[in-house]
Amino acid sequence: MVYNPKSTNLKELEDARNLWIKSKIKFQWDFKKLLDELVFKLEIKIAEKIIKNYWLEYTSYWDQIIKVKVNDKNQMIEKLITCTLFYNKNDKTYGYITPLFTSAEKSQKTKKYDLNRFSLSDIDLIVDKVVDKMVGIVEEF
């Protein structure tokens, strides 16, 4: 069924919304535990890739939000990067997350980036993609 934005038929809208879910198999593992493991692995990888190369004011790791403030005077980089591991009710049911990034600099517009949706079972792939994107955002002018 194709999504029709002018439709008022609730059944039709609900069927169109369910087309976005690719998997029909529900996530069998503990979503919260795997998300915490992902954030822990991201913390280690960020320490390896970003902290060694740039001067960081602070990093903070919350439930599903990672904030990194780069203030490197030698390379003239001053940015606040926020990575949110976004998921909604259906994503949690089927084990998907979508990494969303925002980058803020002084006297510049806030920039938003996103990566594709990933299955939480591919933690190593998610860690590599997120850290590579974060390094790309830091190095971007």
| Token pair belonging to 49 | 């890739």
pLDDT for 38-76, tens place per residue? Answer: 889 988 888 888 877 777 777 888 778 889 888 877 777
Which pLDDT score is estimated for 1? Answer: 46
Q: Which residue has the tokens 């997120």?
A: 130
Instruction: Given CATH 3.30.310, say whether it is the number of domain 30-139.
Output: yes
Which pLDDT score is estimated for 3? Answer: 45
Q: φ and ψ at 3, to 5 degrees?
A: -70, 125
In the chain, alpha helices (H): 10-18, 31-46, 89-94, 123-139
Using only the alpha carbons of the chain, give its radius of gyration: 18
Which pLDDT score is estimated for 100? Answer: 93
Domain layout of the chain by residue ranges: 30-139
Please list the ranges in the chain whose pLDDT falls under 70: 1-25, 141
Q: φ and ψ at 96, to 5 degrees?
A: -115, 150
- What's the gap between Cα 121 and its chain centre? 15
Burial tier of 130 (Cβ tally within 10 Å: 0-12, 13-18, 19+): buried
